[in-house]
Amino acid sequence: MWLLEPEKKGDKSKNARQLALLTAIPAILIVSPLVGFFIGQWVDKRLGTAPLFVIVGLIFGFVSAAKEIRLLLKRSTEENNKNEKNK
């Protein structure tokens, strides 16, 4: 896997992209479920349906996080394959 390749001299932009990818994934995993939780909590307070929409919001948050991470990794892999072909 290209994330685990040893560092090559003069390849700083690739390292920066890898670092950005590795920091974006945990941020997505934290933010998406939190947004779903708070939206669900707000809807539950409005409708008086205690934990129902909090659970639904968390589920939607985790699903959207997984989808976004999958797309992010797919784009990153395609970009890496494109760069490897150009060399």
Q: What residue ranges do the domains of the chain occupy?
A: 27-82
* Residues 18/19/21/23 CA torsion (nearest 10 deg): 160
- Residue range 23-79, pLDDT digits in tens: 999 999 999 999 999 999 999 999 999 899 999 999 999 999 999 999 999 988 888
Distance CA 71, CA 54 (A): 26
CB 15 within 8 A of CB 7: yes
Which pTM does this prediction carry? 0.76
Token readout for 5 is 């390749």
Distance CA 17, CA 43 (A): 38
* Residues 10/14/16/9 CA torsion (nearest 10 deg): -20
